Structures are given as structure tokens and as C-alpha cells.
Amino acid sequence: MCNTRPKIHHKDKDAHDLEHKIWNRRSFLQAMGIAGSGSIMLGSNMVTASSPSPLTNAIAAAETDKILILIRLAGGNDGLSTVIPIEQYDAYANARPNIYIPESKVLKLTNEFGVPSYMQSLEAMWGEGQFKAVHGVGYENQSLSHFTGSDIFANTDLTTTGFTGEDTGWMGRHFESLYEDYLINPPESPAAIQIGQYGSLVFQGEETNYAFVTSNIDQLERIAETGENFALNDPMLFGDCMYGDQLRFLRGVANTTYEYSGKIHEAYERGQALKCVEYQDNSFARQLALLASLIKGNLGTKVYMISMGGFDTHGNQPLAHERLMTNLSVAINDFYKDLACTEQDDKVLSMTFSEFGRRIFENGSNGTDHGKAAPTLFFGSGLNGSAFVGDHPSLEDPNQRGNLEYTMDFRDLYGTVLAEWLCVPRALVEQHLLGRPYVPVNLGFNCSGEDFPDIVYSDGNPDLPGPPDGGTDPTDPNPELENVIVHKPYYPTEGNPSIHLEMPFTAHVDIQLYNILGQNLGTVYNAMTTEGSQEINIRERMPVNLATGKYIYRISVQNQKMSKSVMVA
């Protein structure tokens, strides 16, 4: 920085005083890398070693033990190279003659959808019920700007344009309601940890940013391994400088009072002792390896955000996307194997997000340009089953710019994660979504106890019958027989549902029961049935005990199928 300490003459005093005024606290913090780019300050505020308040203790005691990991795919991930619509394969291949993934390299997870074979590390997770993909995630009039798109996915404000829009994030608003006196009495552990500066608005509140932010994995690894962030004895940094003492002092204060570094270090040391998986040596794998150690070491942080860049694939997309998604799938699989060693895999939910998707048609550079809807991927044992969720956008009817239209509002996924995974009350969830009522999505977990609306699912096993009629909504009746054969659920006794069946002719009737994910639970009824009425008790006829919740029964008669949903209390 400087090697000489100039003497200050009286004629220089005014300039010297002015310099002191200019060289304020923020300037010191910026010079030290504590504020701005590379910040690891919570909202650029020094955190003191103070005890949590009674309010904080009360809230913490009520908190769920669930952990959420947000995975930013920076640049705009190409959904059609991530989830391949087998039923629309011809349209997909015709739109991308040079970059489509050949059928021989599609890993078929259901009869309708697959992933590239280079994502085969997810096949085991799929089989274990740890992987869901939600189709067509986006929003109305989606921005194709990296910056505006990133802000919208962070602040949930669809009116955002350029530098205007809501300046708080959905998670920042959540933490603001959770820690009302945060700046005076911060929680014992970081509320959130973020690696990378991407999407920093996510954790921004009115008063502060609630994330412990490091600019890269190297910085967080240094903190985890040593318990310190700033070196105090670097002669190249301080030298014989007029501000050397001040810089050294403030860096020492930061290391001392910023006690989260020590807590991260302690958790990391505990977690490292429990490590049972060898991760690959790339940035994304290192991020997940470090998070696994912090989670195993019981740091107490509930939300993490990590990033993987390189998804702005305007050119040479096949090789770039293969490398990225291979790294992602291998690292995610290793991460959950690691957590399973300490039986914590069911407590950690991971979800991807990206500022936009990409267009259906390839461009002239073996790539794809900025588009709209793209899938959101969820990982974790807490999903309680694998499935493709929602309606996949049609490739046959793109807009004038060749874009997929969204079929799932991203705010419904955010609301579901807040309410059903982190157990935030609905009224607060809607506040965090800027007053927008959200439609919950059944992702396999339920904290609120609310019923979920019916939604399209694709079964988790292509060799078993999935939802009726090849993946259409299982509650849609078959029009050919629905007016001839009458069937409806009724409840003669509380919690003991039956099916009232009226047959106009004699025929063989088969009734199968499915859970809401489309997984077959067994046979309710299978017999030749004469003309007339039948009352079929579901609980009595099922070979397994049924938990409370919504189910779907499918009736097969003369090679025709009809279905309805039924509640088991």
C-alpha cells in the first residue's frame, strides 16, 4: 500500500484533516475487504459478541430443524438440456439439429421425461425418492436480462426494471420477521451463509443483509480452517504506512468481534471428523463439501446459498453444459451420501434457481439464447419420493421469439418451501411474497397440514403404471365410461372412506390405489362384478395401513380407466 510515513507540516494540516474525514469507517471497511465486494459483514455492520435476547431465544426455540440450500445456476440454465421431454422428442430434436441430446444418451426416468446420461449420478437419488423436477418455472412477462432477472428471482417483485424495484429479498424479509432485534442481539449462529456475490439481494432486509457472505469458496474455507479471515502480519499489505496501524487494528477488531468466524471454525472441525465421502476437486463440489461439514458440525445455520456459474451458453453449449451438469449431479449425490452417514439427509432440502431459461431453438453458434421458463430441481430425502411435477411447456406453440411459456410461478415454489419446509405461517409467507397469495405445491413435505391442489405428476418408475392415462391429471374422468359407470367416494364412518360403484353391466373391475406422487400402493378391488351397486371399503381391502392424506384410486373396466381423488382421515 505505502512504504513511507510523510511528516505533516502545518500547511498540510487542512488537507490532512480533510483526508481523515474522507477516510471514514466505510473506507476502512472497504479497504479491508469487509464491505462491498467480498463482504463477510452482516449488512456491513460489525457483529458484537453479545448474548441473544429473550425474543431471539423464543423464536429460535420454535424454529424447525430443517435446512434449506439454494443453488444458483448463474447465467440462465437451459431447461431442455436438463429435463428432456420424451413425448415431445421429435420437436425438441428438430429445433436443435446440432446440439440435441441423442435418444441413446437420454437416461429415461419415466415414460415421459429423462435427463442426459451424463447426469447419471442422480439415477440412484431418483430411485431412493430424493429427486423432483418442477416443469416450466417462471413468471408473467419474464425478463431476459441477467441483472433484472436475478433481482426478480431474489425480490419476487415483477415490476422490477433496471435499477427500480423492491430492494429487499424474499429470504431477507423472512429473517427480518424472525429476528426483530437482529442488529442489537444477533443469533448465536449465522442466519444464512452465502458463497459468492451472485443474487445478494436474496437475504437483504430493510435494515441489513442477513447473510454471512464470502466472495468465494477459498475465503470461506480459510475461515472454516483457521477461524480467522484477515491476516495481521502481512508486510506487503501494511508496510510502513500512515494507516498501517489503523488497518491492523481494525482487522484485529474484525477477527475478534466477528465471532461467527470462530463458530464456523468449530462446527467445521466437528463436521470434518464425521466426513465419509471424498468429493471431487471443483468449486461446486468444494462448496457442498464445506456445507456438509458445517451441517454435520451442528453450526445451526438454517439457510445456505451457493453458486455455479457458466450457464450463459450462447456458444458451444453441449460441452459446457455437460461439464456443468456432470459436476452438479456428482456433487449433489456425494453430498447426500455424506449427510446420510449421520442420518441428516432428511433434514436438508436443496433447490436450484436461475435468472431465466433458454430458447427452444439453437442459435448459429451451437448454443441457445436467453429464454423464459426452465425446470427447478429439488433434492433430498425430505421429498419422500421422486417425480416430475406440473405441466411441461409445449414445444409446438412457442411465442414469436421461440420461448417456452411458464406453467409454474416461481413464487408458488418459494411459498411452498417457506410454509411447508421451514414451517412459516401462511400469513407471513404471503408478506414475504409482497402480499401475493401463493398456491402450494405438493413436493412431498407438509408442515401446515393444508390440502394441496391436484397437480400433474409423472411416476417415479417407468416400468410401473404411473398416474392414469399416461401422465394426465389423475382426477380427470374418462369421458367414454364416466356417464355409464358411476363411482364416487363417500365416508360412512369418520376416517373410513369407501367407493360407491354402480355397474350397468357385468364386467371385470380392477381398482388400484396411488399416493399423490403416482406411486402404486396396492389393489383395493379385483373381481368380476355384476350389474348393480357395490360399496367398496378402502381401508378394509388395502394390504397396508394408510396414513392420513389424499390418495387417488383408478378403476379399470374393459381396458378403460377412470380416476378420482379420495381423502383418508
Residue type present at position 78: D
Give the tens place of pLDDT for each residue, 30-57: 344 333 333 334 333 334 333 444 433 4
Over residues 441-468, the pLDDT tens digits come to 999 999 988 888 878 777 554 443 333 3
Sign of torsion over alpha carbons 429, 430, 433, 437: positive
Q: Provide, rounded to the nearest whole percent, the portion of the chain with pLDDT above 90.
A: 53
Task: Say how many Å lie between the first and final Cα of the chain, rounded.
Answer: 71
Give pLDDT, residue 60: 43
Encode pLDDT of 280-321 as tens digits. Answer: 999 999 999 999 999 999 999 999 999 999 999 999 999 999
Q: What domains can be seen in the chain, in order of their start residue? A: 54-223+258-458 (3.40.720), 469-568 (2.60.40.1930)
DSSP 248-259: HHHHHHHHHH-T
Which residues on neighbouring strands pair with residue 387, listed in sequence order?
A: 132
Average pLDDT over residues 24-35: 39
Which of 495 and 38 is assigned the larger pLDDT?
Answer: 495
Strand (E) or helix (H) holding 554: strand 549-557
Task: Render pLDDT for 522-531 as a digit per residue (tens, 0 to 9).
Answer: 899 988 888 8
∠ CA 325-386-88, rounded to 5°: 65
Q: Tell me the backbone φ, ψ of residue 39, rounded to 5 degrees.
A: -65, 140
Question: What residue has cell string 446459498?
Answer: 305
- DSSP letters for 267-323: HHHHHHTT------SSHHHHHHHHHHHHHHTT----EEEEEE-----SSSHHHHHHH
Q: What is the mean pLDDT of residues 331-339?
A: 97
Q: Does 350 score more than 80 pLDDT?
A: yes
Residues 6+ away with beta carbon under 8 Å from 395: 85, 88, 91, 92, 95, 360, 404
Residue 257 pLDDT > 50: no
